[in-house]
């Protein structure tokens, strides 16, 4: 049996240690132009991609509504 420290020393990580990112889903939505521009501006100001910013805003909205 190889020690877990050996894996970490050589830059290899056992499968049990690897964390998996949540799956992403590609969507297509239609927004009013003024809303789309405001979201683009806010995303840029927050130094995020449009997709990251929309995901963040929707996640915060769901948390406020008591959803997971």
At residue 48, the 3 state secondary structure works out as coil
Paired tokens of 32: 């009013």
| pLDDT digit string, tens, across residues 4-63 | 554 555 555 555 556 667 788 899 999 999 999 999 999 999 999 999 999 999 999 999
pLDDT at 17: 57
Q: What is the 3-state secondary structure (H, E, C) of the chain?
A: CCCHHHHHHCCCCCCCCCCCCCCCCCCCCCCCHHHHHHHHHHHHHCCCCHHHHHHHHHHHHHHHCCCC
pLDDT at 54: 96
pLDDT at 21: 72
Q: List, in order of start, the domains of the chain with CATH numbers.
A: 20-68 (1.10.1220)
C-alpha to C-alpha distance for 54 and 48, rounded to whole angstroms: 9
pLDDT at 24: 87
pTM of the model: 0.63
């Amino acid at each position: 049996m190889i020690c877990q420290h050996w894996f970490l020393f050589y830059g290899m990580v056992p499968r049990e240690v690897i964390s998996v990112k949540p799956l992403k889903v590609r969507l297509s939505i239609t927004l009013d132009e003024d809303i789309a521009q405001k979201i683009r501006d806010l995303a840029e100001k927050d130094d995020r991609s449009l997709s990251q910013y929309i995901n963040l805003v929707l996640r915060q909205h769901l948390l406020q509504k008591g959803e997971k």
